[in-house]
């Protein structure tokens, strides 16, 4: 089958070739191995985390980043990546939301397909083609309570509407493998789900690639309580449609006996082997089993693409009194635990990314400001994001007092997101809010730049800051990209790929929810602070689908993002007012840059089926288009 992960700090290409030579020249049939690795958002040149890339709403940028990741990884001997992750991420408590492409099925499908195309390149048999693996099949993003590995209970209609389409899009784009989920779906662990692996993948979608388990997930079915031991796990997972077991050895240890007992058919084994061989032939491994051993990392052109990806991922969420962009003459206090963090800026799942390769904020500021770099004062305030040590507060406040504006770099270290790293309280960790409270007492403009793998709730914070940028974990080129955005060399263009809650108590919250029989409005219920305990009648607060303490609106909605300019929408036109089944509707609208700066708008088209025998969401994204306009320029955008 394959070989997973050469230890770090080894000479990977030589090691891979040494192992491959054994497989090709010493094994019975001389079948080459496929070498796999987690190449999630870059190999050596690290791009923004996938959730950050999704904020670009730019399929071309996502594809280009995946192509560079493939070129670097294949130069090290790797030909198979466990990406893209196309699980729908609706719950930011879940640590792996950082790996998702957001909460929307259309956006995730579009960008997931782009990532597959980038990994694959023009020809799967090319030495720089990286075979893609769509994961985790299926419903992993709906894990209960946002707790990793937890159960998922998804009605069949919702499964087909929201969770399966991104996998189909990835397969149609050229993914040759699919990874099963750790979680169980409606009582059945993903690694033994016959409906998913056989009915859906093989019969409905006619998928000809292979299915691989997630790490040890075959044996974890014992802990689920689905099987008694490894023999039963091997039988059920193989008969359900699993072709390739990752890490554990239940299949290798038990299949020969299971075949002899008639519990697993020879044809099922032949089918699994056939699928894997088909992929290996398509990858050209029989003709070219060895790598060139010429590693090519961190090229200048790679770094420039990584910087552009970071620029497009940043989302401007607040900009009161046009506090941004800054100008070089302003005295600026750079404060916060995530201002100068060469490793943390890379984000989760970066096995080969190294801090020494990061371009960080302070050197980028010095380079940009030149002779005016003395206008920058830096004090971290807190040594790391979770710290509650207030010893650095005084130095931070002194720096702030001597400055015109405060830029606070907060959020979460990379380790707080990723696999197994779920949080119940997703507010700013440590004493960050306390430090912001102290800085706010100085009555100076504050810009909050968040580096995080998820939306962080900002109760008690958002009202104290004048500017707010969500930077995610931006990757290798975070520093230069942040400087360009903060000082206005580039205008922010990112839009949220996930709904931003006011509090963890609002979760789950997502834009494409159902109306319910009593949909909330801004005036059909009374907020908790306005309820008079002495005089309010039982039903006076209102009976609608809301939360008395947080209402029904999020902090920031899906698809939201500001820029340094402004746009006007006008003249919406529909080609026709009635549609027959199978008809295509043409929609056009005029967009004008009504500000005084070049800027990019992401025009989004949503639809709603108002009446149906199965209820539909209040709105669903069906198309989007990036549009760069000069000041005063007007352009017509058309959708079909």
Per-residue pLDDT tens for 205-235? 999 999 999 999 999 999 999 999 999 999 9
Residue 184, C-beta contacts closer than 8 angstroms, at least 6 positions apart: 151, 152, 190, 224, 226
Q: Mean pLDDT of all residues in the chain?
A: 96
Q: In the numeric block, which tokens belong to residue 7?
A: 């230890």
Q: What does the pLDDT read at residue 26?
A: 96
Q: What does the pLDDT read at residue 8?
A: 62
Q: Which of 102, 94, 93 is nearest to 50 (CA)?
A: 102
**Known catalytic residue: 214?**
yes
Q: Is the pLDDT of residue 14 over 80?
A: yes
Band (9; pLDDT cuts 50, 70, 90): low
Per-residue pLDDT tens for 379-412? 999 999 999 999 999 999 999 999 999 999 999 9
Judging by beta carbons within 10 Å of its beta carbon (0-12, 13-18, 19+), is residue 576 exposed, middle or buried?
exposed
Band (328; pLDDT cuts 50, 70, 90): very high
Q: What does the pLDDT read at residue 266?
A: 97
Catalytic residue, chosen from 193, 214, 230, 466, is 214
Q: Is the pLDDT of residue 6 over 90?
A: no
User: Quick check: 347 and 506 in contact, CB under 8 A?
Assistant: no
Per-residue pLDDT tens for 448-475? 999 999 999 999 999 999 999 999 999 9
% pLDDT > 70, the chain: 99
Band (511; pLDDT cuts 50, 70, 90): very high
Per-residue pLDDT tens for 150-196? 999 999 999 999 999 999 999 999 999 999 999 999 999 999 999 99
Each residue of 526-555: b (16+ CB within 10 Å) or e? eeeeeeeeeeeeeeebeeeebbeebebebb
Q: In the numeric block, which tokens belong to residue 195?
A: 């409906």
Q: What does the pLDDT read at residue 537?
A: 73
Q: Which of 526, 617, 605, 528 is nearest to 573 (CA)?
A: 605
- The rounded distance, in Å, linking the Cα atoms of 178 and 191 is 11
Residue 629, C-beta contacts closer than 8 angstroms, at least 6 positions apart: 567, 591, 592, 593, 598, 599, 600, 601, 635
- The rounded distance, in Å, linking the Cα atoms of 516 and 555 is 21
């Amino acid at each position: 089958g394959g070989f997973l992960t050469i230890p770090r700090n080894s000479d990977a290409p030589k090691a891979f070739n040494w192992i491959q030579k054994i497989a090709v020249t010493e094994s019975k049939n001389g079948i080459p191995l496929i070498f796999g690795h987690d190449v999630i958002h870059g190999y050596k040149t690290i791009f923004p985390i996938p959730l950050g890339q999704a904020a670009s709403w730019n399929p071309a940028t996502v594809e280009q980043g995946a192509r560079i990741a493939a070129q670097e990884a294949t130069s090290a001997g790797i030909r198979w990546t466990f990406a893209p992750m196309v699980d729908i991420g609706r719950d930011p408590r879940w640590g792996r939301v950082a790996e998702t492409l957001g909460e929307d099925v259309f956006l995730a499908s579009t960008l997931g397909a782009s990532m597959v195309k980038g990994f694959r390149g023009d020809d799967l048999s090319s030495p720089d083609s990286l075979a893609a693996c769509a994961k985790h099949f299926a419903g992993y993003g709906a894990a209960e309570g946002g707790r990793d590995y937890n159960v998922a209970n998804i009605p069949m209609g919702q499964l087909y509407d929201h969770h399966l389409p991104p996998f189909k899009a990835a397969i149609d784009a050229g993914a040759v493998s699919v990874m099963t989920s750790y979680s169980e779906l409606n009582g059945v662990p993903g690694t033994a789900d016959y409906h998913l692996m056989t009915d859906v993948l093989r019969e409905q979608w006619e998928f000809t690639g292979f299915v691989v388990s997630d790490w040890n997930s075959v044996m974890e079915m014992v802990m689920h309580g689905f099987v008694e031991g490894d023999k039963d796990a091997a039988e059920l997972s193989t008969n359900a449609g699993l072709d390739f077991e990752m890490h554990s050895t239940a299949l290798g240890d038990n299949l020969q006996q299971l075949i002899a007992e008639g519990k697993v058919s020879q044809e099922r084994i032949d089918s699994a082997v056939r699928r894997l061989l088909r992929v290996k032939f398509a990858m050209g491994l029989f003709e070219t089993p060895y790598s060139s051993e010429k590693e090519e990392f961190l090229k200048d052109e790679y770094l420039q693409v990584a910087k552009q990806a970071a620029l497009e991922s940043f989302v401007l969420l607040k900009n009161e009194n046009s506090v941004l962009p800054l100008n070089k003459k302003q005295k600026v206090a750079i404060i916060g635990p995530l201002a100068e963090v060469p490793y943390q800026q890379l984000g989760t799942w970066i096995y080969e990314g190294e801090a020494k390769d990061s371009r960080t904020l302070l050197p980028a500021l010095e380079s940009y400001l030149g002779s005016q770099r003395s206008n920058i004062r830096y004090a971290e305030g807190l040594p790391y994001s979770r710290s509650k040590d207030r010893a650095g507060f005084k130095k931070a406040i002194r720096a702030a007092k001597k400055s015109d504006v405060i830029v606070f770099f907060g959020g979460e270290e990379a380790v707080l997101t990723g696999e197994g790293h779920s949080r119940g309280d997703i507010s700013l960790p440590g004493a960050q809010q306390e430090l912001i409270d102290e800085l706010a007492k100085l009555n100076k403009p504050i810009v909050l730049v968040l580096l995080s793998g998820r939306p962080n709730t900002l109760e008690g914070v958002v009202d104290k800051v004048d500017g707010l940028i969500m930077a995610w974990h931006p990757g290798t080129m975070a520093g230069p990209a942040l400087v360009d955005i903060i000082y206005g060399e580039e205008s922010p263009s990112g839009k949220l790929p996930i709904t931003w809650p006011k509090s963890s108590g609002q979760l789950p919250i997502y834009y494409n929810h159902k109306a319910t029989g009593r949909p909330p409005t801004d005036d059909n219920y009374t907020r908790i602070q306005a309820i008079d305990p002495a005089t309010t009648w039982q039903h006076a607060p209102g009976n609608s689908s809301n939360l008395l303490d947080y209402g029904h609106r999020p902090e920031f909605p899906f698809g939201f993002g500001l820029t340094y300019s402004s746009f006007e929408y006008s003249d919406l036109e529909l080609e026709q007012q009635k549609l027959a089944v199978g008809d295509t509707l043409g929609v056009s609208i005029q967009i004008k840059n009504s500000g005084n700066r070049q800027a990019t708008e992401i025009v989004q088209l949503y639809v709603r089926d108002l009446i149906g025998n199965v209820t539909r969401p209040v709105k669903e994204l069906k198309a989007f288009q990036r549009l760069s306009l000069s000041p005063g320029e007007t352009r017509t955008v058309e959708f079909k």
